[in-house]
A = this chain, B = another copy of it.
Amino acid sequence: MTITAPKGFRAAGVEAGLKASGGRDVVVVVNDGPSAAAAAVFTSNRCEAHPVTWSRRIVADGAASAIVLNSGGANCFTGEFGADTTRLTAERAAERLQLQPDDIIVCSTGLIGSGDETFRAGVLRGVDAAVAELASDEAASANAAAGILTTDSVPKTALREGDGYAIGAIAKGAGMLAPGLATMLVVVTTDADLESPALDAALREATRLSFDRLDSDGAMSTNDTVALLASGASGVTPDTAEFTALLVDLCQDLARQLQADAEGASHDITITTVGAATENEAVAVSRAVSRSNLFKAAIFGNDPNWGRVLAAIGTTDAKFEPQVIDVSMNGIMVCRAGTPDAPVDTVDLTPRATEVRIDLHAGDASASILTNDLTHDYVHENSAYSS
């Protein structure tokens, strides 16, 4: 069990016919309390989906008692009809759960522009079916994890045990993985007894250090939501620093799972910049490299083309002098102080896990960005299928 491992939660995932590929596609997660404290972070994309607009408002008061999620349609750019669908979804769940619509977070994922009457009917039917199946057992947890998947090949879950409390999570995401957030839906549950401001601070720190540093393909989604519900059922109020550390660890675990399942990828690349003047500049440099299609294609070809790394670094405003930069790949320094160092044929890029290390020699800050290579399968999956 993951999402139902913390006390006070029930979940269900059912098949409502939304996904062309079949399978479970509507999920409900309920927090039975005693607390209804909640926090959430959303996409920074200005073209946000209706469920995001709805849910921002719902969690503004720091409380939420349930989440409805669907795959098989993003309900984004679907006009007033789509906005109504989100509201009706919350109203239906509230009615079935004897809650108020303002207690219900709604999340959707799938093709942008999809959200017609068939979609609406399917979601509402799914809410009914899911509420009828709510449970706290292993199957319920697994069904919820399965029901939010789209092009994912495997479910993503994580569980961390604190001192007398637990944190569980389910996640989905395989493409459009770039920050603000990485494209994803994540539901995190905990039975720790924490107020919303503490949850919010912990969640923002955790997403900053995990999902916001995953940049698989540079494309930012319209539907990203990471929601954290706290039931308080353990009766334990942990130290916030300890809770935050556990949540960071859990979110970083999920981010690695998302990276490992990125569409068509054959390398999981960690780009670490050290010696930066500030952490933000380290992030900016690593991110610029993660966005270079030429670099990403070279890694796919097992080619340690460090010139493409430097060309990407040069597009940033970070503090550095080009002639002192070092670049290593998988532990081999291929560029030292701005000049060729070890022969590139001494670098082995055949392992899936790939490490690129950049030393700017401009300070003491560092940061890593997780990305993937640019492959034939990426092009195939994103050209042959609308998603």
- Bound together, the chains give a CA A76 to CA B339 distance in angstroms of 9
Is A314 a contact partner of B48 (Cβ separation < 8 A)? yes
Out of B218, B313, B376, name the residue touching A292 (CB < 8 Å).
B218
A218→B300 contact, CB < 8 A: no
Q: Is A176 an interface residue (CB 8 A)?
A: yes
Contacting residues, chain B, for A383 (C-beta < 8 A): 297-298, 300-301, 303, 374
Query: Which B residue's beta carbon lies closest to that of A300?
Result: B383
Give bound CA distance, A71 to B212, whole Å: 40
Q: Is A280 in the interface zone, CB < 8 Å from B?
A: no
State in angstroms the CA–CA spacing of A288 and B374 once bound together: 19
B113 adjacent to A307 (CB under 8 Å): yes
CB distance A113 to B306 under 8 Å?
yes
Contact assessment for A339 and B79 in the assembled complex, using a CB-CB cutoff below 8 Å: yes
A382 to chain B, nearest CB (A): 4
Q: Are A293 and B112 in contact (CB under 8 A)?
A: no
Interface residue? A111 (CB, 8 A): yes
Contact A382 B294 (CB under 8 A): yes
Mask for A201-232, Cβ within 8 A of B = 1, else 0? 00000000000000001111110000000000
Cross-chain contact B111 with A307 (CB below 8 angstroms): yes
Determine whether A45 belongs to the interface, using a CB cutoff of 8 Å to chain B.
yes
Q: Are the CB atoms of B45 and A314 closer together than 8 Å?
A: yes
Write out the residue numbers on chain B whose beta carbons fall within 8 Å of the beta carbon of A217.
293-294
Q: Restricting to A303-326, which residues have a CB under 8 Å from any CB of B?
A: 303, 305-308, 310-316, 320, 322-323
Shortest Cβ distance from residue A125 to the other chain B in the assembled complex, whole angstroms: 22
- Interface 0/1 of A22-39, CB less than 8 Å to B: 000000000000000000
For the complex, give the distance between the alpha carbons of A297 and B176 in Å. Answer: 12
Question: Is A386 at the interface (CB under 8 A from chain B)?
Answer: yes
- Distance (Å) between the CB of A302 and the closest chain B CB? 8
CB contacts (< 8 Å) of A305 on chain B: these are 386
Which residue of the partner chain B has the closest CB to A43?
B314
Q: Is A164 an interface residue (CB 8 A)?
A: no
Asked whether A77 lies within 8 Å of B340 as measured between CB atoms, the reply is: yes
Q: In the complex the two chains form, is B382's CB within 8 Å of A298's CB?
A: yes
**A-B contact sample (16 more), CB < 8 A, given A46-B315, A79-B339, A374-B382:** A48-B314, A76-B310, A77-B335, A77-B338, A79-B323, A112-B308, A112-B310, A217-B293, A219-B292, A222-B314, A297-B379, A297-B382, A301-B382, A375-B379, A376-B376, A376-B380
